[in-house]
Structure 1
Amino acid sequence: MQDDFVANLRLLCGYYPSIAEVCRRLHINRSQFNRYLSGRYRPRHAALQRICALFGVEEHELYLPQAEFRTLVQVGRDVRAAAFEPPAEWPSALLARGQEGMARYLGCYFEYYRSMSRPGQVIRTLVCLETREQGTVYQRTERMQVRPGTRPCHNRYHGLAFRLADRIFLVDYETLNGNEVTQTILFPSFQSQVHRLTGLKLGVADNSERMPSCVRVVYERLDEKMSVRRALEKCGLLSPDAPELDAELHDRLRNDIDPGEQHFRARH
């Protein structure tokens, strides 16, 4: 019977010049690592964390069927290889102008909004913005557990961010399944430190209905001391009374319409 963990680990090692280079980066003895590659031993928790951090995968993904894992890894590499190359239709002047003032927003955020596919619940995702030659790019990762006791499923979005006329625009596409494009528009922050950003998000419910939906959204800047792995562990669905949701978050995430309003509007 095929050992998917071993096959997946070997696949990841194939992206490096040698096993010796992988061991050097992992700070793992070569003979010990060979035992992992042979299937004789499984890495303990600390070693497994280093392996996942080096290769940019999550622990549960290493146990996926090899064909599924190969597709997941190849999609990720194709996206990185493309370096978020903007489509030819994006005017270069717009890309350049949209980067003015974006440096202060680089970093990682928790994104909160009322779930489009799980009514009554709040979803918390991880958004990481960084600068590349093409401009400000980001990855948005959704982590959802469909049923208690099951492994969480993931959606990964890659996109471009712009600041135009005192609004921040984020446009991304889902890279694992290729089934969605979303747009988010945020108010910028005029405080000395960026803490929370509010706005609107337009997307499609991730269920069989695939209903186009618009929700109020909050971006909350992460403490720089929090690792990406720890942040991902905190992502997922939250009940409305979860202690992580303070009164201010509750107020900003309400999807109500005031009397006399003719449109669903963001609230600063």
Structure 2
Amino acid sequence: MNENFAKNLRHICAERVSTAQICREIGINPQQFNRYLSGAGMPSAHNLRRIALYFDVMEHLLLSDNATFVAARGHLNRNRPSVHKDPFANAFPGDLARLRHYAGAYHIHFLTPSWPDHIMIGATFIDEENGQMNTRTIERGRGPSQERLQRTRYDGRCSFHGSRIFVVEFESEQEGSITETVLYPAHRQQRTYLRGMTLGLAWRPRRMPYSSRAIWKKIESRVSLRSALEKCGIYPVNHASIDPTIRNFLLEKTGMAGEE
């Protein structure tokens, strides 16, 4: 049985980018997983169930002889709807169990090209609905010269793949635009800061595309919605209200996985 399972596991792992990614997403020790691949060990019932759920295959099929497994796998793939009909069906939400840990409210920070040497602070809310993690982002504030108040709202979804959080949002008002943010949770036990990059369109001039480092800071649950929105705005980089950790990251004084 070890040999059959090992062959079947190697066959199905070949469909993925790397075994390292598989181990991260399942949550299995890589050394132990390599023992399964080599046939030197068999998973416990618990780990077998986790592997089967991850690859969307029946447990008994993983334990069958390799010829049966390959034939059954080919039959399943032929009868599944093509992912090209809806490429985002498999993209969102990704690892929902991991993503749920990041639900809640955040203040988002990035260097805005519309006002050089200033940091935009907005508010993003992540919540679950019908098995998807939705986002709502609000940006508002006046520029350094106290121009008229700017307001923008984005709605979107986020997903979790390969220890990264992907956020895609759409601005339905004005001319409409799409933004994408990729966040890197530095430590599993630390969710105060989420670092990454964001790509979108500047408010001015001429709504030009831009990219910027971005860092999200978790808003404490005791903070009211009104208080969270009141902090949104456009601030000079050296403003006293800017968290030093945030300022240092945006000014590239620390790396993507820098210490808190």
Q: Which residue of 227, 243, 246 maps to 2:243?
A: 246
Any residues of structure 2 matched to 1:91-170 within 5 Å, and which?
91-146=88-143, 152-170=149-167
Any residues of structure 2 matched to 1:249-264 within 5 Å, and which?
249-254=246-251
Distance 1:153 1:211 in 2: 16
Q: Give the secondary-structure state (helix, strand or coil) at the position aligned to 2:206.
A: coil
The TM-score with structure 1 as length reference comes to 0.59
- What CA RMSD, in Å, does the superposition of the two structures yield over aligned residues? 2.3
Deviation at 1:192, TM superposition (A): 2.6
Amino acid at match of 2:155: H
Q: Give the secondary-structure state (helix, strand or coil) at the position aligned to 1:197.
A: strand
Query: Would the aligned equivalents of 1:215 and 1:255 in 2 still touch at CA under 8 Å?
Result: no
List alignment gaps of at least 5 residues for structure 1.
Answer: 1-87, 259-265
Query: Would the aligned equivalents of 1:136 and 1:160 in 2 still touch at CA under 8 Å?
Result: yes
Distance 2:189 2:121 in 1: 25
Distance 1:97 1:122 in 2: 31
Identify the residue that residue 230 of structure 1 maps to in structure 2: 227
Q: Deviations over 1:115-147 (max 9, x none)?
A: 121111001000000001150001010012247
Q: Which residue of 179, 182, 186 maps to 2:179?
A: 182
Distance 1:150 1:116 in 2: 16
Identify the residue that residue 16 of structure 2 maps to in structure 1: none
Amino acid at match of 1:163: F
Distance 1:151 1:114 in 2: 20
Q: Which residue of 234, 256, 259 maps to 1:267?
A: 256
Q: Give the secondary-structure state (helix, strand or coil) at the position aligned to 2:101.
A: helix
Q: Deviations over 1:71-130 (max 9, x none)?
A: xxxxxxxxxxxxxxxxx7344333253424111100000001111211110010000000
Distance 1:234 1:94 in 2: 33
Rg: which structure is higher?
A: 2
List alignment gaps of at least 5 residues for structure 2.
Answer: 1-84
Q: Which residue of 178, 194, 198 maps to 1:197?
A: 194
Q: Deviations over 1:217-237 (max 9, x none)?
A: 110000111111111111000
Q: Deviations over 1:153-202 (max 9, x none)?
A: 21000010001011100000112214211100010243434100100111
Deviation at 1:248, TM superposition (A): 1.8
Amino acid at match of 1:252: F
Query: Would the aligned equivalents of 1:116 and 1:204 in 2 still touch at CA under 8 Å?
Result: no
Distance 1:100 1:147 in 2: 42
% identical equivalent positions? 23
Distance of aligned partners of 1:238 and 1:171 in 2 relative to their CA distance in 1, 3 Å threshold: same
Distance 1:97 1:124 in 2: 28
Query: Would the aligned equivalents of 2:114 and 2:205 in 1 still touch at CA under 8 Å?
Result: no
